[in-house]
Amino acid sequence: METIIIAVFVVGYLAITLEHSLKIDKLIPALIMMAVSWAFISFGIDDFNTWFDSSKHALLSNFEALTHDGKMHLMEETLLHHLGKTAEILVFLLGAMTIVEIIAYFNGFATIKSFIKTKKKTQLLWIFCILAFVLSAIIDNLTATIVLISLLQKLVKDRDIRLWFAGLTVIAANAGGAFSPIGDVTTTMLWIANKVSTPHLFGYLLLPSFVCMLVPAFFASRLSIFKGSLEVDDSEDQAVGRFSGTMLYLGLAAIVFVPVFKMVTHLPPYVGMMLSLGVVAVFAEIYSSSKFSLETLDKDGHSSPVHYSLNKIELPSILFFLGILMAVAALESLGILFGFADWLKVATPHLGTEVAGTQVSDLVVLLLGLGSAVIDNVPLVAASLGMFSEPTDNILWHFIAYAAGTGGSMLIIGSAAGVVAMGMEKINFFWYLKKITWLAFVGFIAGALVFFFTRTLF
């Protein structure tokens, strides 16, 4: 039965990675994979020899001695445990997405465009790379990419040049998301699972992530495509409204407040995110009343900015995360990931020195980073949570956060930021492979080398 469940997972995985070829949204195989995997566990519960207790992060010693009813009860408890942990991530993401959409409702991001005055390509490249790096750490790399490519479409008329800007934006956004607990879904997963803490994330990964952005931007700025100036298209400017700047700064501050709330109260991050959403929503409702007293029509007939924003959030992504995280939980519950981790520790040669007691070689994590370029990094990190049992803030978890967060930049399909850029600009897979991949790889390796230095400082 274990073989069948692994086969279901592999087939589902392939369907996710080939979504563009199959023309099937990746949430569909993820949800099917989740349901079928747990169904087979239920059917074959009496045939399994081991069971992984996620709450204690250890294999149960008396699983085979349990009765059928006892095993079914344990399976239901385990399923509920994983659903609770997954729901923490999903509710957190829903809150963050809604705040970002509220900012967009008030044209808050148009405030950023008003600061960009230069027409020189090199300067514009650095501006967008730094903006992507900073914004992704605050509002997550996916949202930052959407915002910045939308700005690029208004600023850069030549599509060939714009594709280069988009490619470097993806690299910078993924780099910026790696060192922030709210910057990338995978880093958020590690943070919510209490594998990494905010101070150590910044300490270990800020410099490596910055180098991962800096090196590709430096090499790209030397390319002929970024020489000279461009004509800025101001014909489609979004009006900066009366409350645009206020809602931008309020929304960003509310999201940044979440890690502070967690450290002070020791409550799960989604609690702080719901508080932040509530505060932003109050101001949004107040400001929208003033706005509509001046304007006769609201957006798409929605009188409430909160309702409008909830209708705009990316629900398919939420369902995809639900499916993939719960499918990985099925493999974890059977002890498959735990056994695979033990095999990796023995079979993989150790590169470099062991630091802070880590027993996993650098090569394993580097391969995970390279793998995240081919396979979605969310299931890879979800799998690592079940594979390794190192304590909170062990350097392994921080290296995984860096590798999974930045490694996906090497292919356009390797990260959520890349996929959304591909959709918005119709970027060809092989164009990105030829033009951008080498830049992302150089940045990935440079950042990893810097990480080998920063991990010795704590």
Domain chopping of the chain, boundaries: 78-458
pLDDT score of 358:
45
- Pairwise CA distance, residues 279 & 289, whole Å: 16
pLDDT in tens, the chain (458 residues): 888 988 998 898 788 777 777 888 878 988 999 999 999 999 988 888 888 776 666 677 788 888 889 889 889 988 998 899 889 888 887 888 888 888 888 888 777 777 777 788 899 999 999 999 998 898 788 778 878 887 887 788 888 899 999 999 999 999 999 999 888 888 988 988 889 998 999 999 999 999 999 999 999 999 999 888 876 555 545 566 778 888 888 988 888 888 888 888 988 888 998 999 999 999 998 888 765 554 444 555 556 888 888 888 878 878 887 888 888 888 878 877 666 666 665 665 544 434 444 445 788 888 888 887 876 677 678 777 777 778 888 888 999 999 989 998 998 877 878 877 877 787 887 899 899 999 999 999 999 999 999 988 86
- Pairwise CA distance, residues 165 & 350, whole Å: 38
Say which DSSP state 359 is in: -
Tokens describing residue 298: 């609201």
- SS3 of 327, please? helix
List of residues 6+ apart from 172 with CB closer than 8 A: 128, 129, 130, 132, 133, 136, 213, 216, 217
- Pairwise CA distance, residues 127 & 131, whole Å: 6
pLDDT score of 55:
67
Dihedral, CA of residue 68, residue 73, residue 76 and residue 80, to nearest 10: -160
In terms of Cα–Cα distance, which of 301, 293, 314, 312 is closest to 104? 312
In terms of Cα–Cα distance, which of 457, 32, 18, 454 is closest to 205? 454
pLDDT score of 232:
56
pLDDT score of 449:
95
Q: What's the chain's Rg over C-alpha atoms? A: 23
Report the Cα–Cα distance between both ends of the chain, in Å, rounded.
45
pLDDT score of 289:
76
In terms of Cα–Cα distance, which of 387, 324, 382, 333 is closest to 48? 333
- Pairwise CA distance, residues 60 & 70, whole Å: 13
Other CB atoms within 10 A of residue 44 CB: 14
Left if phi > 0, otherwise alpha if psi is -120 to 50, otherwise beta: which for 442? alpha
pLDDT score of 439:
96
Other CB atoms within 10 A of residue 239 CB: 8
CA distances (Å), origin 356, targets 93, 112, 195, 200, 203: 32, 42, 15, 13, 15
pLDDT score of 202:
92
